[in-house]
Amino acid sequence: MNGIIYQNSVIEDNGTTYFLVKDEAGGAKYLAVKGDTNGFEGDFDENGILHSPLTSSNASNLRSRLPWLRPVSLGLDISFGFGDRLGLATPGHIRAVRQTGIAPVFAQQSVRENLRTGRTPQEVLDDAMWGVFQEGWRGKWGADADHLKTPEDIKPFVRAGYTFFTIDPGDLVANISIEETKTGLMTNTGRVPWESFVITQNDLYKIYLNKTFHLEGFELVYDEETLLRALLKYGQAIAHTSLMYNQLLGLMGQKAFDLELSLDETASPTSIYEHFFVASELARLGIKCISLAPRYIGKFEKGVDYIGDSGEFESEIKLHAKVLRYFGNYKLSLHSGSDKFSIYPFISRHTRGKLHIKTAGTSYLEALRVVAEKDPAFFREILAFSQEKYRTDRASYFVSAEIDKMAPPDGIKDSDLSSYLDQFDAREILHVTFGSVLGKWGERLKSILREHEEFYYSSLEKHFNRHLEPFHEMAVHTND
């Protein structure tokens, strides 16, 4: 056998041995099977070992035999989502999360990202699975169908075997003016989808109006205006979440899954009263939501640290965590969660492990760091092209980078090009233009990463060690 065996992948199960091999000649990886080869596609070598390409069919057959290669529900465990837009990063993610006690989501991609990368939900899950196999990961792991907006969005993720479904009704969250009067609010209650709430307005008032809810020393009391604001702002979103949840129940049958509600990509922050109202209504409607992502105060832009007053954020997250513990049956989720190093300690401390962190493009940026180090000329091409595409590609993201604030690359030595990956404006510009770059140079970029995969894995491990370290102690304490 002319190839490099990934030793962590070697496993003997029921008399059959499986392992992953990297061909020395072409660099392609394949699954080697010795023993029961029934159902696997490929060719036998002179030693009777089947060389199976990393196809979806072979991935499915391997999952049926080795159950730890299948994603599962993670429940209330502290968890971390590793988005991987290239399908090559999972081994690096595993090296970072191993021994932390944090439950990983290795397959995570949104419908929007799939469109931009040209990948299918099945390809995303299979790529993550091969990384799990390569590194010999035996722990549980999840697969997140991110930012689902319509019932039709759900189906291909269910077919592929996903276990975590993030519902995004952000387009239905109303932007209520702070100048709107109570009288104006009352005239709009006819827009509330009361049939989905299976309750009348008077009955809703009986639940909340002028009632005191005790949250660990904080007393939450709804006057009529506060209640109406929460109802009108999130009523349509709650109704849509109910529709999506029931669709999932029908598609998943008896299979356990995690539901997350994403309210983060909206115009205004989610107040404590609004958070409480949403969580309370989800519970009343029987919607089992394992994770909730409010729109926090401040700015959570892509691939950069938190923008805002960190002291004010800590004051708010304390109250959000009190709401969380009042209900006690879900986690707080932080979206656009990569690189928010200044506020990680606050989130870890106040949520006490009832937490999910979601990252995506930061792994892509680490891939570009490899390119900057190993092929500076190509990185310069990517940098120029990303600047050209930024004004268009930024449209669907909350980012504030400005091209004029980037240092001209002509004045930067090749050995210093990776410094662009540490600069605010460059990070955001490179982050949001990933779809355009992959559409033009996807295979070229992946070829460099495959050639220097250990360098890529070590870069990812170092990068995510910094992300995960603030949550280690809480993860261990929670699991104990």
What amino acid positions are annotated as catalytic residues?
A: 146, 260
Are 189 and 228 contacting, i.e. CB atoms less than 8 angstroms apart?
Answer: yes
For residues 431 and 305, what is the distance between their CA atoms, to the nearest angstrom?
Answer: 14
Residues 224, 227, 233, 237, Cα dihedral to 10°: -140
Assess contact for 237 and 285: CB atoms under 8 A: no
What value, to the nearest 5°, has the Cα angle with vertex 460 and ends 454 and 464? 150
d(CA 317, CA 140): 29
Give the Cα separation of 29 and 87 in Å (integer): 13
Which residues on adjacent β-strands are paired with residue 145?
A: 109, 165
Measured between its terminal Cα atoms, the distance across the chain in Å is: 45
**DSSP code for 302:** T
Tokens of 161: 């075997």
C-beta separation of 109 from 70 below 8 A: no
Q: Which two tokens stand for residue 172?
A: 């239905």
The token pair at 42 is 């490929």
Reported as type and span, the H/E element at residue 72 is none
Return the closest-CA partner of residue 288 out of 65, 76, 26.
76
Based on the number of CB atoms within 10 Å of its own CB, is 8 exposed (0-12), middle (13-18) or buried (19 or more)? middle
Q: What share of the chain is helix, strand, coil (3-state, %, to 5)?
A: 50, 15, 30
Q: Are 337 and 358 in contact (CB under 8 A)?
A: yes
DSSP code of 262?
Answer: E
Contacts of 343 (CB under 8 A, 6+ apart): 306, 310, 313, 314, 317
Place of tokens 């010999």: 136
| Cα(149)–Cα(422) distance, integer angstroms | 33
The residues, ordered by sequence, that sit 6+ positions from 43 with a Cβ below 8 Å of its Cβ are 50, 51
DSSP letter string over 316-357? HHHHHHHHHHHH-SSEEEESS-TT-TTTHHHHHHHHTT-EEE
